[in-house]
Amino acid sequence: MRLRHSHTSPFVRKVTVLLHETGLVDRVAFDTVDGWSEPEALTGDNPLSMVPTLELDDGSSLYDSPVVCEYLDNCHDGARMIPTSGDARWRVLREQALGDGILDCAVLIFMETVKRPEDKRWDWWVDLKRRAIMRSVDRLEADADGLAGRVDLGTVSIAVALSYLDLRGAVGEWRDGHPQLAAWHAGFAARPSMQSTAPPA
């Protein structure tokens, strides 16, 4: 398998953390690509020119991090990162959706405040996305006890999202007023899978 990726994409990081946690990392080759430049190596596999894109051994490809993660979770013999049924499955999928939603908002803020020309920036839009992020962080603080002691795609998604807030500074210091979540994140971020996938500063 070959993973087309970028070093700063948090959606890629979610996949690579899963690869490390499941022992699959040595089964995947990594191809660094710049989706913004629409390279043929990427668009041939994914017409959206987005990462992560996973090229399978038969030459077909999968894309969008939830799809890639679900496929990879069926490629190992260890404990599942996505439970197969019951309340635990829905909890993990809900947490993945919340983590990905935080990332979507943070990426949009980055695009608006960094990529868009200053005279065309829309402050109302940025504030809307920041409020969505902070409501999500508030919810995670309230639910922090339920994150403890778990390593699954839900907790990976949340840890990666919070780390991306640190990388891009989308909402300033999210830890203020969220001590339990901050403590949980500090512990999870120390895992080897998180350390080895940290993006460049």
Domain housing 31: 2-72
Interatomic CA distance for residues 41 and 60, integer angstroms: 13
Note the pLDDT of residue 115: 84
- Lookup: tokens for 133: 């992020």
In a domain, 51, yes or no: yes
134-160 pLDDT, tens digit each:
999 999 999 999 999 999 999 999 999
**Residue 34: pLDDT above 80?**
yes
The pLDDT value recorded for residue 198 is 94
Looking at residue 35, what is its pLDDT?
A: 83
| Same domain assignment for residues 113 and 63 | no
Cα–Cα distance measured from residue 107 to residue 21, given in angstroms and rounded to the nearest whole number: 25
- For the chain, how many structural domains are there in total? 2
DSSP result, 19-53:
HHHHT-GGG-EEEE--GGG--HHHHTT-TT--S-E
> Is 46 in contact with 4 (CB distance < 8 Å)?
yes
Please check whether residues 175 and 121 belong to one and the same domain: yes
**At 184, which CATH number?**
1.20.1050.10
pLDDT tens readout for residues 47-63? 998 999 999 999 999 99
Average pLDDT score, the chain: 95
